[in-house]
Amino acid sequence: MTLPRTPSLRLDGRRALVTGAGRGLGLACAAALAEAGAEVWLAARSADEVEAAAQALRERGDRAHALVLDVTDADAVARAVALHGPFQVLVNNAGTNRPKPFEDVTEADVDLLLALNTKAAFFVARAVAAGLKQAGLPGSIVQMSSQMGHVGAASRSIYCMTKHALEGMSKALALELGPHGVRVNTVCPTFIETPLTRDWLATPAFREQVLGKIPLGRVGRVEDVMGAVLFLASDAAALVTGSALMVDGGWTAS
């Protein structure tokens, strides 16, 4: 009897690009891909932060490079990807949030979140996909979405708007890029302990409200997201595209 073998989670010989990789989820995703054997480019605007992150990975024995890049500059993105790619793995992680009541949202708030969470993700994905098609290589694009891309929440109108848009974009890209062997999926975390969320989660009332919506009874850690991203990047997810992988402790199950 010949038994089937589990597809590998290894990424040896592949190049990976992670945006927003100087800290938090981005750094965690870069660490996961590098540990699996990928050569990783960590992209962020802050030179000191991203250089330190790449150096820490190199000291661990990984292949990692710092890439100082403003992902909202589509021309700069195209040049960087053409220079360092093609990238067989992209983790489109750069993003931000400005939670506030709907009536207090300013035009500047809307412009910022649309530019970073949605528009930049589109152009980074397009540059990576173009490089893969030109090289005739398959690839995996992992978009960092959110549980808020599937539900609504008070004081998060524009964040929900941008993440719902990212979900729709990813499904459309999966259809368009599938014939070229490029898979596109989203990872949808709940609240994860990161520098971006630490102050909010330190507020007892807010933390209690969040935990009340998570059946597993805890907020997330970056390690919870690392495995999901690695799965989608690897051959273990070879037939997975156009999907949203919920890492939300059950938030969206109700």
How far is the C-alpha of 23 from the C-alpha of 4, rounded, in Å?
38
Distance of CA 155 to the CA centre of its chain: 22
Question: Residue 21's Cα: distance from chain center in Å?
Answer: 10
Phi, psi torsion values for 118, nearest 5 degrees: -120, -60
Count of other CB atoms within 10 angstroms of residue 177:
23
CB distance 210 to 153 below 8 Å = no
Read off φ and ψ for residue 65, nearest 5 degrees. -135, 140
- Residue pair 54/25 in contact (Cβ under 8 Å)? The answer is no
Left if phi > 0, otherwise alpha if psi is -120 to 50, otherwise beta: which for 81? alpha
Q: What angle do CA 230, 252, 115 make, to 5 degrees?
A: 65
Does the active-site annotation cover 159?
yes
Provide the CB-side half-sphere exposure for 114 (13 A, CA).
Answer: 10
Cα atoms in the 13 Å half-sphere on the side-chain side of 51: 4
Handedness of CA 130, 81, 85, 21 (dihedral sign): negative
From the list 159, 191, 231, 251, the catalytic residue is 159
Coil, helix or strand at residue 215: coil
Q: List, by residue number, the catalytic residues.
A: 159
